[in-house]
Amino acid sequence: MKTLTYIEAISEALWEEMERDKNVFLLGEDIGKYGGAFKVTKGFHEHFGEERVIDTVLAENAIIGAATGAAMMGMRPIAEIQFADFVSNGFNQLVNNSAKIFWRCNIPVPMVVRLPSGGGIHGGPYHSINPEAWFFHIPGLKLVAPSTPYDAKGLLKSAIRDNNPILYFESKFLYRRIKGEVPTNDYTVEIGKADIKRNGNDISIITYGTGVHWSLEAAKILEEENIDVEVLDLRSLIPIDKEAIFSSVKKTGKILIVHEDTLTGGIGGEIAALISDNCFEFLDAPIKRIASPDTPIPFAPTLEDHFLPNTKKVLSALKSLAKY
């Protein structure tokens, strides 16, 4: 095992997969000589050359369109969207082409779109969004959102080797803030499998991405009050691990869903509906959600702090559930 930051784990996965499979290549804005806005691909250009690490024009529809075409031709492109907010420019390519081609033409589209997502870095309304819910509704795409270096590397490798178009939501807030153990040898994390990051019997938190860390901190604090919180990290949003969700619900009976994305239309609503449909008789309390309020994310740091979910908000929701 070795200790890596979240961003190093992503870089390593890309590097190793490019070494392993010559069909894997990267494309995106400033990812070549510059090494990417967040330096994920620093050194890649020198090592793999400009044909496999391609600097593109500032046009996400072109990036995703090119990636889709290459994937159809048997390549395994990995497109970097500099900030996930910009993926909206490539929305039509993703939704109408990448997602549908296999279903319409029986041609697989093995591509990965990397989406540095989320706030907490004072990026303002155009550089902070969590766009997973836009695509959660689109059949044909797979969505993953790792929360640890281990999952980041293992899921990215699985995504690159998968034959479907995959959106890879990486938390830029976590890039250099967390470190974790990662195996030295080659490994993958199965897409579609959630992970219990903490075992508990009283309340389940269902979360992903940054939410996992707030949840784990809050759960730790509640240990002192003898409230035993389980933290289920979804890791994959599509396909979603229903079995893991249901078994956690059946275990605790009290559910808190935590995500950084805004509340209305967020994927928490779908999770709540799934639970209600399948586990109604196992519920001992209303399903609660912690999410950002329904506004664009503010630029001012104090307002941003107020806007985003955090450990304190999770803690207070857990306490009220415990009391219920």
Partner 1 sequence: MAKIEIPMPQLGESLTEGTIIKWNKKVGDTIKKDETLLEISTDKVDSEIPSSTSGVVSKIYFEEGKTVPIKTIIAEIETDASNVSQKDIPQKKEEVKQVETKIEIEKPISVSSPVQKLEKPQPGRFYSPLVLNIARTENISMSELEQIAGTGENGRVSKKDILAYVEAKKHGKVSSTISSSLSTQKIETTLKHVDSGELIKKYPQPQYEILQMSNVLQKMAEHMVKSVQTSPHVQAIHTCDFTEIAKFREINAIEFEKQEGFKLTFMPFIANAIVQALKEFPIVNSSVEGDKIILKKFINLGIAVASEQGLIVPVIKNAEEKNFLGIARNINDLALKTRTKKLQMSDIENGTFTISNYGVFGNIIGMPIINQPQVAILGTGAIKKQPVVINDAIAIRSISYFTLSFDHRIIDGAIGGQFLMSVIRNIENFNFKNAI
Q: Which residues are catalytic?
A: 127
Q: Would you count residue 277 as binding partner 1 (CB under 8 A)?
A: no
Q: Would you count residue 226 as binding partner 1 (CB under 8 A)?
A: no
Contact 74, 21 (CB under 8 A): no
The binding track of 150-189 with respect to partner 1, each residue x by CB under 8 A or -, is ----------------------------------------
Q: Would you count residue 282 as binding partner 1 (CB under 8 A)?
A: yes
Contact 160, 76 (CB under 8 A): yes
Nearest to 113 by CA among 83, 137, 138: 83
Structure tokens at 172: 């830029």
End-to-end CA distance of the chain: 43
Closer CB to partner 1, 21 or 277, in the complex: 277
95-to-17, 63, 99, 141 alpha-carbon distances in Å: 26, 14, 5, 8
The binding track of 246-265 with respect to partner 1, each residue x by CB under 8 A or -, is -------xx-----------
C-alpha to C-alpha distance for 208 and 146, rounded to whole angstroms? 7
C-alpha to C-alpha distance for 98 and 140, rounded to whole angstroms? 8
Of how many residues is the chain composed?
A: 324
Which of 106, 139, 281, 302 is in the footprint of partner 1 by CB under 8 A? 281
Closer CB to partner 1, 196 or 283, in the complex: 283
Closer CB to partner 1, 91 or 282, in the complex: 282
Q: How far is the CB of 284 from partner 1 (least distance, A)?
A: 4
Which of 19, 243, 284, 294 is in the footprint of partner 1 by CB under 8 A? 284
Find residue 288's DSSP bridge partners.
256
Site size for partner 1 (CB under 8 A): 11
Interface residues with partner 1 (CB under 8 A) are: 202, 253-254, 280-285, 323-324
